[in-house]
Amino acid sequence: MKQIIVPTDFSKGAWNALLYAAALGEALGIREITILNSYQAPHAGASTLVSIDRIMQKDSDEGLKKWSEKIKESGISVRFNFHMKSVHSGLAEAINAQIDDYNDTLIVMGSLGETGMVERIFGSSASDIALKASCPVIIIPPEARYSNRMNVVLGSDYNQVAARNLKILRTISSLDVNNNIQIVHVQEEGEGPSAKASMGLDQEDIPHTITEITGDDVSTALDEYVSISDTDLLVIIKKDTGFFDTFFHTSVTKKLTLLGHVPLLILKRIE
């Protein structure tokens, strides 16, 4: 990977995501980090819209300037080439405009909220990016910190993993010599045994184990597994329907503890 993009709304959660991105970037040997703030005025009349745009652009520029100073004070500026960008557009569109190749860019962004509920933890922006981004996305909960240890759980429906995603998983597994990616497949209660599959990890010499757990709800079952397995990163491979939608579109009343402390890496599937 060549660059990390950190979207920011200048919140504490976004700053925590930047610190995580810096630690991860150093481990991966990435030197380029882009700090991106996008702004877009709500629907209004033409004259009002121009006025709001100017105010939002000024706020964006000032916010990035303050962050640039904060980055220098933190000491991480000497380890990376930082690029500060203010973009007038939707966040997903602004991010995708910065991406040349799927495997060249990683988005690291903070999540919103403190309740643990899926919608509030992810926030509308994080959910939107997770669904629309044309490169891998890591969502960092407020309490998450980067660790040199990297216990990875890959939530799987046993479909073959695309070569570009295998490349990312291989990179992740190399961060910790003791790392063993845990492929976790959720079966419904009463469902017969399925044919276990490594989805291509064996051909790529990626250390892994395969575990099957039961449950009527994918997110709840994964939550319980992650809570007892000392997970540092949960990986989900996004597709338009099925496993990923089941994970993201749970009831707003259902609390998922894993979203409160475990970073989530979202990869895009190629059908």
Q: Do residue 115 and residue 175 come from a single domain?
A: no
- pLDDT of 29 strictly over 90: yes
Whether residue 24 lies inside any domain: the answer is yes
Per-residue pLDDT, 196: 83
Residue 147 lies in a domain: no
On average, the pLDDT of the chain sits at 81
What is the predicted pLDDT for the residue at 41? 67
Tally the domains of the chain. Answer: 2
Based on the fold, state whether residues 130 and 156 are members of the same structural domain.
Answer: no
46 and 133, same structural domain? yes
The domain boundary, picked from 91, 106, 140, lies at 140
Answer whether residue 163 is part of any domain: yes
Same domain, 95 and 135: yes
Cβ atoms of residues 33 and 3 within 8 Å:
yes
Which CATH number belongs to the domain containing residue 98 in this structure? 3.40.50.620
Residue 127 — pLDDT band, cuts 50, 70, 90? low
pLDDT for the residue numbered 42: 65
Please check whether residues 50 and 159 belong to one and the same domain: no
pLDDT at 243 over 80: no
Domain range holding 181? 152-268
183 with 228, same domain: the answer is: yes
**Residue 92 scores a pLDDT above 60:** yes
pLDDT for 255 beyond 60: no
What pLDDT sits at residue 222? 83
